[in-house]
Amino acid sequence: MTEMVFGTVPVRAGEPVLPRWWRTIDKWALSAILMLFGVGMLLGLAASVPLAEKNGLEPFYYVKRQAFFGSLGIIAMLLISMLSPTQVRRIGVIGFFFAFLAILALPVIGTDFGKGAVRWISFGFASVQPSEFLKPGFVIIAAWFMAAAHEVAGPPGRLYSFLLTVFIVVLLALQPDFGQASLVLFSWMVMYFIAGAPIFLLTGIAGLTAAGGLFAYNMSEHFARRINGFLSTEIDPRTQIGYATNAIQEGGFFGVGVGEGTVKWSLPDAHTDFIIAVAAEEYGLILVMIIIALYAIVVVRSLLRLMRERDPFTRLAGSGLACAFGVQALINMGVAVRLLPAKGMTLPFVSYGGSSVIASGIALGFLLALTRTRPQGELSDILARRK
C-alpha cells in the first residue's frame, strides 16, 4: 500500500548478483566479522598449540581444523548474505527443523565428552553441537510467528512463539545447557519487546526466569556448583576462573608479549571458552578493546540499519540475531573476568569449535542478508524521491 501511494525506488535492471550484493551489503559489518575471524586464528596459534602437544598431535592440528571449519563458516555466511528475506525465512525454518530433531535425539545418540552435559553428537572424526545451529533457526521462526501477528486476521503468532520458546528453553536446560537456554530466551524477549509487548509482561517473564533459576539451583548440582563458585568471595587459583583472572591481571595494558603467556598451558578450555584470557595476557587490554569494538560495530551497525526497515519480519529477525550475537560475546567475556557465572559459551567467530564457527557464519549470513539495502526497503528513501 505504501508503494502505491508514494511510489517505488527504481531497481537497476539486469544488474549481476555480485555487484548488486556488494553495493547493498553493510561493508563495515562484513569487515568487522572477517577481522574477528582473523583475530581468532591469531589467538588459536597461541592457545591451541599446548592442547595439541598434550594430546600427542602436531602443534598446529587445531589451528588447521579451525581454518577449515572457519572457511566453511565464511563461505556459508557470504552465500547466505546474498539471499532475500523470504529465502532467509525458508532456510531458517528448515534449519531449525533439522536442529530441533537433532536435539530431541541427543538423549539417545548424544555424548557429553566427560563434561557432564549431553550436548554433542559424535561422528568419530568430528562432532556437532545441535544447539549452536538451533539458535539462528529459532530466531527466524520466532520472528516469522511474531510478524504474522501483524497481518490482518493473522494467527496469534506471539503466543505460538512464546510456547515454542518455553519448550526450547526447557529442552536445553535438561541437557543441561543453561547458557544456550538463556541466550534463546534473551533473543526472544528482544524480539517480543520490539514487536510491541507490554513492559509488565516482560517483567513477569523475567520473574518467572528468576524462579526457574532458583529451581535449577536447588535441583541441579552442576548448576549449583557454578553459582556457588561465582558467589564465593575467594577465587580458587587452581580453577579455570582462577587461571583466567590471573592471566588478565598479568597482561595489563600491553600484554606480556606474543607467545610469552602461560595461561594456555594451564587452562583446558583456553582455546574455546577462555580464549579472551589468552588475548588479554599476551596482547593486553589493547587487543581486548579492539575485539570489543569489532563486536560493537557489527551489532550497532545492524541495529541502525534495521531501525529504518519497514518489513516486520526483517526488523524482528535481524534485531534478534544481532542482539544474540552481541550478548553471547558479552557473556563469554563476562565469565572470563568473573562478572558472570561460568556458562560454557564460546566467543563467536573467535573461539575454536567447528559447530560454533559454522553456526555463527550461518547466523551472520542471515543478519547481513536482512540488513542489506533493498528497493522499497526504507520509507525515508521513498519520501525523499517524492520531494
Strand partners, 122: 127
Q: Is 197 exposed, middle or buried (0-12, 13-18, 19+ CB in 10 A)?
A: middle
Residue 304 CB: number of other CB atoms within 10 A?
11
* 227-283 confidence digits (pLDDT tens): 776 666 666 666 777 778 888 888 888 888 887 787 887 777 778 888 898 899 999
* 325-369 confidence digits (pLDDT tens): 999 999 999 888 888 877 778 899 999 888 899 999 999 999 999
Task: Flag whether the pTM goes above 0.85.
Answer: yes
| Res 237: pLDDT | 63
Please list the alpha-helical segments (H only) found in 232-311: 240-251, 263-266, 275-307
**What is the 8-class DSSP label of residue 121?**
E
Phi, psi of 282 (to 5 degrees): -85, -35
Q: Give, rounded to a whole angstrom, the gap between the first and last alpha carbons of the chain.
A: 19
pLDDT-based confidence at 10, cuts 50/70/90? very low
Helix (H, G, I), strand (E, B) or coil at 12: coil
Contact 372, 80 (CB under 8 A): no
In one letter, which amino acid is 309? E
Torsion of CA 21, 363, 354, 273, to 10 degrees: 130
Q: Write the DSSP string, 172-237.
A: HHTTT-HHHHHHHHHHHHHHHHHTT--HHHHHHHHHHHHHHHHHHHHH-HHHHHHHHHHH-SS--T
List of long-range contacts for 191-199, beta carbons under 8 Å, 24+ apart: 191/139, 191/142, 191/143, 191/146, 191/161, 191/316, 191/317, 191/319, 191/320, 192/146, 192/158, 192/161, 192/162, 194/315, 194/316, 194/319, 195/146, 195/149, 195/150, 195/158, 195/312, 195/316, 197/158
Of 111 and 235, the structure prediction assigns the larger pLDDT to 111
Strand partners, 121: 128
**Cell 552481541, located at residue:** 326
Helix (H, G, I), strand (E, B) or coil at 256: coil
**Cell 520473574, located at residue:** 207
> What percent of the chain is helix, strand and coil (3-state, nearest 5)?
70, 0, 30
| Percent of the chain residues past pLDDT 70, beyond the cut | 89
Contact 351, 332 (CB under 8 A): yes
Q: Which of 113-122, 192-201, 283-292, 314-323 has the lowest mean pLDDT?
A: 113-122
Q: Write the DSSP string, 311-347.
A: -HHHHHHHHHHHHHHHHHHHHHHHHHTTSS-------
| Res 6: pLDDT | 38
* 206-240 confidence digits (pLDDT tens): 788 788 778 777 777 767 777 776 666 666 666 77
* 281-304 confidence digits (pLDDT tens): 999 999 999 999 999 999 999 999
Cell of 359: 553456526
Contact 138, 168 (CB under 8 A): yes
pLDDT-based confidence at 33, cuts 50/70/90? very high
